[in-house]
Amino acid sequence: MASLTDRIASFFGGEDSTTDEGLRDLFISELKEVYYAEKHSINALNNQADAGTTNEVRTAFLQHRDESQVQIERLEEIFRIIGVKTEEIKSDAIDGLINDAKRVIANTEAGSLTRDAGLIIAVQKIEHFEIASYGSLLTLANVLDFGQSAELLALTLAEEKEADRKLTILAESFVNKRSKVEEDEHPGSHHASRHPAHSPDADVTLGGTLGI
Ligand SMILES: [Fe+2]
Please list all protein residues whose beta carbon sits less than 5 angstroms from ligand 1, which is an ion. Answer: 68, 71, 130
Spacing, Cα 68 to ligand 1 middle (Å): 5
Position 81 scores a pLDDT of: 97
Q: At what angle do helices 55-82 and 17-51 cross, to 10 degrees?
A: 150
Distance 174 CA to ligand 1 centre (A): 24
Residue 4 has pLDDT above 50, yes or no: yes
Using alpha carbons, list the distances in angstroms from residue 176 to 56, 95, 124, 212: 15, 32, 19, 11
Residue 163: inside a domain, yes or no? yes
Distance 36 CA to ligand 1 centre (A): 11
What are 11-70's pLDDT values in tens digits? 677 667 777 788 999 999 999 999 999 999 999 999 999 999 999 999 999 999 999 999
Please report whether residue 129 resides in a domain. Answer: yes
Residue 183 pLDDT greater than 70, yes or no: no
The answer to whether residue 27 is domain-embedded is yes
Expressed in percent and rounded to 5, the helix, strand and coil fractions of the chain are 75, 0, 25
How far away, in angstroms, is 60 Cα from ligand 1 center? Answer: 13
Answer whether residue 76 shows pLDDT above 80.
Answer: yes
Ligand 1 mean position, distance from CA 155 (Å): 11
Domain-embedded: residue 114? yes
pLDDT of residue 211: 45
What is the distance in A from the centroid of ligand 1 to the CA of 3? 40
**pLDDT tens sequence across 100-113:** 999 999 999 999 98
Q: How many CA atoms lie within 13 A of 157 on its CB side?
A: 17
CB 74 within 8 A of CB 157: no
In this prediction, residues 71-99 reach a mean pLDDT of 98
Q: How far does residue 122's CA lie from ligand 1's centre (Å)? A: 14
Q: Is residue 41 part of a domain?
A: yes
Give 21 Cα–ligand 1 centroid separation in angstroms. Answer: 27
Distance from Cα 171 to the centre of ligand 1, integer Å: 19
Write the CB contacts of 177 (distance below 8 Å, at least 6 apart in sequence).
none
Residue 4 covered by a domain: no
What local confidence, expressed as pLDDT, does residue 1 receive? Answer: 62
Asked, for residue 7, whether it belongs to a domain, the answer is no
What is the pLDDT of the chain when averaged over all its residues? Answer: 86
Identify the pLDDT of residue 96: 98
What is the pLDDT averaged over residues 108-130? 94
pLDDT band at 160 (very low <50, low <70, confident <90, very high): very high
In a domain, 17, yes or no: no
Res 194: pLDDT: 47
Range(s) of the domain holding residue 107: 23-194
Q: How far is the CA of 67 from the centre of ligand 1 (A)?
A: 7
Total tally of structural domains belonging to the chain: 1
> Residue 69 maps to which CATH number?
1.20.1260.10
Residue 20 C-alpha to ligand 1 middle, in angstroms?
27
Quick check: 68 and 38 in contact, CB under 8 A?
yes
Q: What is the pLDDT of residue 79?
A: 98
- Residue 200 banded pLDDT, cuts 50, 70, 90: very low
pLDDT value of position 24: 94
